[in-house]
Amino acid sequence: MLNAPLSRRQFTRTIGAAAAALAAPRLLESVAHASLPEGMPASTIQLDSNENPHGPSPKALEAITQSQSVASRYPDGVVERVRSAIARLHGAESSQVALGCGSTEILRIADMAFLGPERNVVVAEPTFEAVLDYARVLRANPIKVPLTSDFRHDLPRMAAACTSKTGLVYVCNPNNPTGTIVTREELAEFFKRVPDSTIILLDEAYHHYVEDPRYASAFEWMGKAPNLIVTRTFSKVYGLAGMRLGYAVASPELIGAMKRHLLDDNANAAVLAAALASLGDTDHVARQRRLNNDTRQWLCAEFAKDGRRTIPSQTNFVMIEIGSDVRPFIEQFRARGILVGRKFPSLSNWLRVSIGTRQETEAFLAAFRAIVPAAAARAA
């Protein structure tokens, strides 16, 4: 039996479906490279934002896929399950946990809760800039304390800078962009010296990569220091930077003050499902730590062979001394299809590079050896 002729509407639908099927691969390709600057090829090596090049846990990817079944529903119930899981991880109550769209939202709401025109914020120089960026919006006064000679937070000077007008003191441990840590003993003394009226905002975004036995998470002081807020993120070792989820743990009073500034429904069902799966996959965390740290140690050893100085790092990035302003070198790497970190004004001769896969890192090193000596010779 012959098929009946297509109506105009059926014909249009058929053509539309076929066009969509043909466009789908191109659409998926464009989405896959959405993080690249416009005009950069798909082969670009991204070593500029301290991401995890190995990606999320397979369990997290499966959870993301399964989350489509609840895409039409607000994820309130999952929010509570994630908060409870984080609370259990840290020996806290769910009332002590706030979730954010990445840990940058957590830093923003901490500024909003505890800063203003009559308050100042004490930070290391340099450190992760988000706290200062939001503080400027609030017209809060920044107090910048230079790093020590070995590129670490000068905690005694930072504590001394805290006064009755200090709303926040921000410590990034390990620090971005230097990759350095402050030790357990230094933190213990710091907590004693900071006034109770000053909120201590301790950012542990890179906590999972640390292997130095002198390091301690600030969670050791949770419950002992009522002015302490600890933040973490799913963007680094968990490989979920594009999904956006971070969190803070503190006393119920501090969390309550911060949550007043959070958007309602600020986390999506996919990332919440991925977070639960990630927290349960401890093998993945250990594997990511090993992959990253082995590659970082290899890279630093290669630079040592070249007589090139690096800052000892406990993170998924490292800073390399260039010898002159890094900006021209950044552009030369970009021309070769490699994105590296931005210039930090107080460390203008140091280049920050994220640790990629071993293959990506080898490509970076080859480019570095080709670019830097030639550029230095031209500058001379």
Do residues 255 and 95 touch, judged by C-beta distance below 8 A? Answer: yes
- pLDDT value of residue 120: 98
- pLDDT value of residue 308: 97
The SS3 assignment for 276 reads: helix
pLDDT exceeds 60 at position 26: no
For the chain, the domains span: 35-50+283-379, 58-281
Q: What is the mean pLDDT of residues 271-283?
A: 97
d(CA 328, CA 318): 19
Instruction: State the CATH architecture for 58-281.
Output: 3-Layer(aba) Sandwich (3.40)
d(CA 267, CA 138): 25
| pLDDT one-digit tens code per residue, 218-248 | 999 999 999 999 999 999 999 999 999 999 9
Q: Per mean pLDDT, which range of 1-10, 105-114, 255-264 is the poorest?
A: 1-10
Write down the CATH number for the domain with range 35-50+283-379: 3.90.1150.10
Record the tokens describing residue 332, joined without a space.
């030369």
Q: Which residues contact 71 (CB under 8 A, 6 or more apart)?
A: 269, 270
pLDDT exceeds 80 at position 195: yes
- pLDDT value of residue 36: 87
Count of alpha carbons within 13 angstroms of residue 293, beta-carbon side: 18
> What pTM was computed for the model?
0.90
One-letter identity of residue 86: I
Q: What is the mean pLDDT of residues 350-379?
A: 85
Q: Per mean pLDDT, which range of 28-37, 117-126, 208-217 is the poorest?
A: 28-37
